[in-house]
Structure 1
Amino acid sequence: MTDPAAPTRDAFLPVAAQPSVDQLVEFAREAEQLGYERAWLPETWGRDAVTTLTAIAERTEEIGIGTSIANVYSRSPALIGQTAATLQEVSDGRLRVGLGPSGPAVVEGWHGADYDRPLRRTRETVEVVRLVLSGDPVEYDGEIFTLSGLRLRCDPPETVPGIDAAGMGPKSVELAGRFADGWHALMLTKAGLRDRLADLKRGAKLGDRDPDELRVTLSLPCIALDDRERARRLARNHLAFYVGAMGTFYREALERQGYDEEAVEIASEWANGNQEAALAAISDELLDDLGIAGTPEECREHYAAWEAIDGVDAVSVSFPRGAEPDEISATMRALAPE
């Protein structure tokens, strides 16, 4: 990977609704003051990432910014390229782009688009965005997209931002290794992460690329509170929601990693409206295999084991969806870079 030293520490801004854009900006400003390398912002069905990242870029000085992730269905590849060029300009070169297909719950349920050929669409989007950012005329003849005759109407970025792809399954991670500049990993145990890193290397080999040039960013669910019981419940609720309410991707990710019985039980209980039973189906072993939740001391101790995984370039501290702003800040402080 890009740096043999210890992984950098990023902040993954909360996916759940926040009181205001100002609150998200304040999280990014706090992360910057604490020494985090980059602030990643997800985009689901709340505030859009572009406007929010612009506000963050204008009101911070050094911290990197990035999308994790922007889906490849709600914007055209050319528009994503234009947006990346503009965000790179307003942030003075601090952008990194994270792209991915998301899932049917967002793409079909929110955007009203057909969730068709997600891997192919991701690949072509990465390729078109790279062409747009080069500043050269965009000539592209893909299976989904065909573009011809135009180029970026402003100067391309002096420093072209990296383009990462998100993925949980073997083929999506292989795609990241073959076509993107990096991979965003999530919902993985340590053993599962090592398995997917092998897929990334295989993709790099297929693309005749050096895997050491690819940047691996792990999104790690974290909640560090003096109230250990509260922290553990927040983490359980977060996991149960994603496995139970967000389609089959997260359930399948758990099944691939040896938690097939628990994954099915969590999803089934949630689908039947038994949220407490879904939370109860999450064992301590599973909870601790997928993230860190507990007292600040516990979390700092367990965090080190994730940073020690060979092949990870950045560990991004992410937060459970039910965490309050003060709990997010407390976790960022507890896990701040030393």
Structure 2
Amino acid sequence: MALPVGVNVGHFFRGVPADFADTVRRIEDLGFDGLWFAEAYGSDVFTPLAYAAAVTSRIRLGTAVAQIPARTPTATATTAATLDQLSGGRVVLGLGASGPQVSEGWHGVAYPRPLARTREYVDVVRQVLARDKPLDHVGEFHQLPLRGGTGLGKPLKSSMHILRPDLPIQLGAEGPRNVALAAEIADGWHAMFFSPAFDGFYREALDAGFARRGGRPQHFEVVCTLPVVVDEDVERAADRIRPDLALYMGGMGARGTNFHHDVFARMGHGELAARVQDLYLRGEKAAAAAAIPTSLVEEVALVGPAGKLREDLARWEDTVIDSLAVQGLPADLDAVARALLA
């Protein structure tokens, strides 16, 4: 069965594209399933979704992902709930712990114990969305109301009635413990750099989490952000993917604390990942990209002519993945739609 396919725009680098509104409308008109945004330390994740909500009417709107250290859990819950109201119930709230460089360097929030922090954060978000009683939470990371301070804080309940108390929450995760946590406490897992060859590894992680929650809920969804380039020349297509892989493998995090780098090491590419990281951290970005073989690009991306893409896509369709999100805003959006949405 064909997988639903959306678009993960990511975040803006230099600025918002001039034709952004038209592109967003085009994504919906072409029949893509979802529109996802991300954030790092530039553009935020919710504002583009609100903009997209205003110019579309049907497409799902997801965060992939909203950073946990960027906002209090109550702020995240009310932002997602407000956007859900404005969009007519189209929001999927993806959350992620980020990494120590961004958490501590950009948000000033200590990073240790990210799994425990995520678990408590999701619990508070769910309490806000449930709106069944005033919020009174005493945890390791959050005290609501704050104990201490002026002493005037009191338990509060959202003054806005929540459109969907069961608004879906997904976790962005790469390591097995994080994937298991998504299966245990969330409504979905948003994957990236997923290799179909390692489907069994991820099934085990998901099953461990489902076992702790008493079984897999019917609504649980696994979304995979997937780089896609349509081009008659496979090598030319792979060349468009290599710089991003080099960035994530080599430059997204410090040496020894780069979770994307660890994904490729677990896939058996430890030596290559180390070489790419060395080159990237020395500023040799072009060499880092060139070091990535086409075979590795094809493990985690769809590249080449439309017919090849459709054939390769079958490998993802036979895995735990329930839906896909094309990475970025491809210039050949129509060609991608023809290849993947037939």
TM-score (norm 2): 0.89
Higher mean alpha-carbon deviation, 201-210 vs 91-100, is at 201-210
Question: In the alignment, does 2:144 pair up with 1:138?
Answer: no
The answer for the alignment partner of 2:148 in structure 1 is: none
Superposition pairs of residues 39-50 of structure 1, within 5 angstroms:
39-50=35-46
Match of 1:322 in 2: none
Is the Cα–Cα contact under 8 Å of residues 223 and 331 in structure 1 kept in the other structure? no
Q: Decide whether the 8 Å contact of 2:229 with 2:303 is kept in 1.
A: yes
- 1:225–1:330 contact (8 Å) kept in structure 2: no
From the superposition, tell whether residues 159 and 332 of structure 1 become closer, same or farther in structure 2 (CA, over 3 Å). farther
Backbone CA RMSD of aligned residues: 2.0
> For the residues of structure 2 that align with 1:41 and 1:24, how far apart are their CA atoms?
13
Q: TM-score, length-normalised on structure 1?
A: 0.90
Question: Equivalences for 1:177-256 in 2 at 5 Å?
Answer: 177-226=183-232, 228-247=234-253, 248-256=258-266
The verdict on how the C-alpha distance between 1:106 and 1:334 changes in structure 2, with shifts beyond 3 A counting, is: farther
Larger radius of gyration: 2
Any conservation in 2 of the 1:266–1:281 contact (CA below 8 Å)? yes
Question: 2:309 and 2:164 mapped to 1: Cα distance?
Answer: 40
- The aligned residue for residue 260 of structure 1 is 270
Aligned residues of 1:10 and 1:315 also touching (Cα < 8 A): yes
Equivalent residue number for residue 81 of structure 2: 85
Q: Is the 8 A contact 2:74 2:124 kept in 1?
A: yes
Counterpart CA distance in 2 for 1:40 and 1:29 is: 14
Deviation for aligned residue 1:19: 4.5
1:71 is displaced (CA, Å) by 0.7
Query: What's the offset of the Cα at 1:157?
Result: 1.6
Q: 1:36 to 1:326 in 2, by over 3 A?
A: closer
Aligned pairs for 1:1-338 (under 5 A) are 6-17=2-13, 19-20=15-16, 23-136=19-132, 137-148=134-145, 149-158=155-164, 160-226=166-232, 228-247=234-253, 248-309=258-319, 311-319=320-328, 327-330=331-334, 332-338=336-342
Identity %: 33
Structure 2: distance between partners of 1:10 and 1:38: 4
Q: Measure the CA separation in 2 of the matches of 1:88 and 1:194.
A: 35
TM-aligned CA deviation for residue 113 of structure 1: 2.7
Aligned residues: 328
Q: Is the 8 A contact 1:169 1:196 kept in 2?
A: no
Contact 2:6–2:33 (CA under 8 A) maintained in structure 1: yes
Deviates further, 143-152 or 64-73 = 143-152
- Checking the alignment, whether the CA contact within 8 Å between 1:27 and 1:329 is kept in structure 2 is no
Find the aligned partners of 2:56 and 2:190 in 1 and give their Cα distance.
24
CA distance in 2, matches of 1:86, 1:78: 12
Deviations 1:122-142, CA, capped at 9 Å, x for gaps: 111111111111112222222
- 2 CA distance for matches of 1:39 and 1:326? 13
Q: CA deviation at 1:116?
A: 2.4
CA contact (8 A) 2:229 2:330 kept: no
Q: What are the ranges of 5 or more consecutive residues in structure 2 without an aligned counterpart?
A: 146-154
1:18 to partner: Cα distance:
6.1
Q: Where in structure 1 are there 5+ consecutive unaligned residues? A: 320-324
- Give the secondary-structure state (helix, strand or coil) at the position aligned to 2:70: coil
Q: AA paired with 2:337? A: R
